[in-house]
Homo-oligomer: A and B are copies of this chain.
């Protein structure tokens, strides 16, 4: 139930590796591939999307690789997943591109909407910075929406 695709998962793990080089050291694909055990070809596909989305930039030539385009604290998990998997839409009814004619009379619409908001709040709150710090996320749950800092 509610599975995240490997593309999204690999994407976050790749971004973590790139974040480790922040702000100076370019991290090349081979290094990411080896550390996270994901094929180079598949990573190329993933990193390409993330680059076009402006989350990372690339440096060519020997010694090149990928660099974070922003501070780790400014890149949320949501940012990454959005590019790789499209907008969060628990149901097709909630997908702007699909929509649903039953919305007005549907008894579950608000339920799924609330669940989506719950997930979105969480993913918006957690950033690469949190991953770098090795947080446990135990207390993220209820504080996510408070807007204030999050307990470690």
Contacts and interface: CB of A to CB of B under 8 A. Distances in A.
Tell me whether chain A's interface is mostly helix, strand or loop, or mixed: helix
B122 A137 contact: no
A115 B107 contact: no
A108 B13 contact: yes
Interface in A64-83: 77, 81-82
B1 A89 contact: yes
Nearest to A5: B1
Given A13-B108, A37-B102, A88 B126 contact: no
B131 A107 contact: yes
B12 A108 contact: yes
Given A4-B91, A90-B4, A131 B118 contact: no
Interface residues of A, number: 50
Nearest to A90: B4
Contact of A13 (B16, B107, B137): B107
Instruction: Across the A-B interface, give the 5 residue pairs with the lowest CB-CB distance, nearest first.
Output: A114-B137, A1-B85, A1-B88, A4-B90, A118-B141
Given A2-B2, A13-B106, 13 more contacts: A1-B4, A1-B82, A3-B89, A4-B90, A4-B91, A13-B107, A16-B107, A111-B131, A113-B137, A114-B136, A115-B119, A115-B123, A118-B122
